[in-house]
Structure 1
Amino acid sequence: MARPDPRRLEVTGKSQLTPNMLRITLGGPGLAGFPEDQTSAYIKLRLPDAETGRDVVRTYTVRNHRTNEIDVDFALHEICGPATFWALNTQVGDTILVGGPGPRKLVHEDADWYLLVGDMTALPAISGNIEMLPDTAIGTAVIEVMDEADIQNIAKPTNFVIEWVVNPHPGDDSHLLVNRVRNVDWSAGNPSVWVACEFSTMRQLRDYFRSERGLDTSNLYISSYWKNGSNEDNHKIAKREDATALA
């Protein structure tokens, strides 16, 4: 089945959420026919690449979905790739081609408790996941941010705990997130664990959850959203090679 053509959306808003997180709001006539209730789904942004002169595609999460708008949050990095460059420089009234949405990656609703882990690139998806949990849900989220000022208010169930890890150098000091996760109390019952972060950190956490905690695909979703020192194209190659090695 052929993929639908990307839709052209208009930049309708731009706001600095925290020092290292920028929100771009997209809407306009091109959003007509966009499926309902797509918070936490992924989309594909077609962006110009100044280095190559060609367009590139980058994957992002729908942070919020309203009737006529979607919010897309960009974690800002020291190395400014095409997506960060576009987000920093775009203005209200500009347009961009957007593919998708792709399916949401959500926690398992029938779990006894939940553990969500990620860095700032996964913060939009984690936030959406937490906000969609029933108020009776129990669990923990461990979220790495670059600065204390990057901590966000997330609507959460009453008995759900959010732990923040401050790491000014994500990708370089991966042990900070890994060690905090290892210290999370492991509750009784069937967990649903959701993880998305930097590639090398993901591999350490995957080994912990599979080898030490005995989880598998029935109760573990784990993915890398980026690779330290690599662009998205090279990151995709690394992910394919890693998947092949596991097969």
Structure 2
Amino acid sequence: MSTPNFAEAIVLRRAQLTPHMVRLTFQSEFATDFSPGAPGGYLKILAPAPGEVGPPPLDLQTAKRAMRTYTLRHVRPAENEFDVDFVVHGDEGIAGPWARLAKSGDRILVSRPGALKFSTEGANWHLFVADLSSIPAAAVELEALPSDAIGDAFFEIPSDEDRQPIRTPTGIRMHWIIKADPHAPSDALIHAVQNTDWHSGEPSVFVAGEFALAGALRTYFRKQQPTRKDLTYISSYWKLGLIEPEHKAFKAQVA
């Protein structure tokens, strides 16, 4: 089943990256159109509900509440393959629980990808801040940096076992912040960022994660430690207590 904007994707492989993150490798007709720059972009995923087999009916009016947004972690157009990393917290959510049990041959619907609007061009150093939901997007950007890049990356994870290998330049310092309770505020992560040593020159700033985290650091980088607008990407990927459509509606109200 396919439309100009959605197509089926078939699970080829599953890898348990960490206790709370699963990587699924998909095959899809869309993958042949993914450019080498597609990793880091985002796509919509429509996974089956618990107990369903195969992708759900593509009824966009009723499916909007079930769609979830994910990052393209790797793309291999020649093989029609791409990887998506899913956060799994037991039975919480829709796509996460599905990914936790996904196996080869399972099918979902995926959209064509959109581009992440983040630039590092002209920056002297780099600062990345991400919680578990946005580590895939931050990791793609980190791995694309030149080999002589310098800076800091602050990643919030539920446990030490949730650290994952990321191919960063040797000049990027990795800071793993442990927050065992996924419903607690990201105070330790915010404080760590605010207390980091500031390098000389202009930074590129990537911040993504829970709504309160993004809001606190947006204020910080606007009022206390101003950064260039064209080198600053700050986005909330989710909000405590809200599903994705509710989060998007909330962001639109407060924008």
- TM-score when normalising by structure 2: 0.88
Of the three residues 62, 73, 81, the one matched with 2:72 is: 62
1:123 alignment partner, SS class: helix
Query: What is the match of residue 170 of structure 2?
Result: 158
Query: Does the Cα contact within 8 Å between 1:38 and 1:62 map onto a contact in 2?
Result: yes
Query: Does the Cα contact within 8 Å between 1:210 and 1:216 map onto a contact in 2?
Result: no
C-alpha deviation, 1:98, in angstroms? 0.6
C-alpha deviation, 1:208, in angstroms? 0.8
Once the two structures are superposed, what CA deviation does each residue of 1:112-134 show, in whole Å capped at 9, x if it has no partner? 11101010111111111110000
Query: What is the match of residue 125 of structure 2?
Result: 113
Alignment of 1:18-37 (within 5 A): 18-29=18-29, 31-37=31-37
Uncovered stretches (5+) of structure 1, i.e. residues with no partner: none
Once residues 207 and 50 of structure 1 are traced to their aligned partners in structure 2, the CA distance between those partners, rounded to angstroms, is 40
Once the two structures are superposed, what CA deviation does each residue of 1:63-82 show, in whole Å capped at 9, x if it has no partner? 11123211100112255111
Identity %: 38
| Farther-moved stretch of structure 1 (166-175 vs 140-149) | 166-175
Once residues 221 and 73 of structure 1 are traced to their aligned partners in structure 2, the CA distance between those partners, rounded to angstroms, is 21
2:218 alignment partner, SS class: helix
Once the two structures are superposed, what CA deviation does each residue of 1:151-207 show, in whole Å capped at 9, x if it has no partner? 011111121111110101134132011011111111111111110010011111111
Once residues 222 and 57 of structure 1 are traced to their aligned partners in structure 2, the CA distance between those partners, rounded to angstroms, is 22
| Farther-moved stretch of structure 1 (22-31 vs 200-209) | 22-31
Query: What is the match of residue 196 of structure 1?
Result: 208
Once the two structures are superposed, what CA deviation does each residue of 1:59-116 show, in whole Å capped at 9, x if it has no partner? 0001111232111001122551111122123221111111021013334221011101
Query: Does the Cα contact within 8 Å between 1:171 and 1:200 map onto a contact in 2?
Result: no
Structure 1 residues 93 and 78, CA gap change in structure 2 (3 angstroms): closer
2:212 alignment partner, SS class: helix
Query: What is the match of residue 187 of structure 1?
Result: 199
C-alpha deviation, 1:30, in angstroms? 5.1
- Pairing 1:46–2:20 present: no
Once residues 50 and 91 of structure 1 are traced to their aligned partners in structure 2, the CA distance between those partners, rounded to angstroms, is 14
C-alpha deviation, 1:221, in angstroms? 0.7
2:146 alignment partner, SS class: coil
C-alpha deviation, 1:36, in angstroms? 3.5
Structure 1 residues 204 and 211, CA gap change in structure 2 (3 angstroms): same
Once residues 183 and 217 of structure 2 are traced to their aligned partners in structure 1, the CA distance between those partners, rounded to angstroms, is 13
Once residues 236 and 49 of structure 1 are traced to their aligned partners in structure 2, the CA distance between those partners, rounded to angstroms, is 21
Query: What is the match of residue 174 of structure 1?
Result: 186
2:89 alignment partner, SS class: coil
Once residues 50 and 250 of structure 2 are traced to their aligned partners in structure 1, the CA distance between those partners, rounded to angstroms, is 24
- Aligned-partner residue type, residue 137 of structure 1: A
- TM-score when normalising by structure 1: 0.90
Query: What is the match of residue 5 of structure 2?
Result: 5
Structure 1 residues 198 and 212, CA gap change in structure 2 (3 angstroms): same
- Pairing 1:132–2:144 present: yes
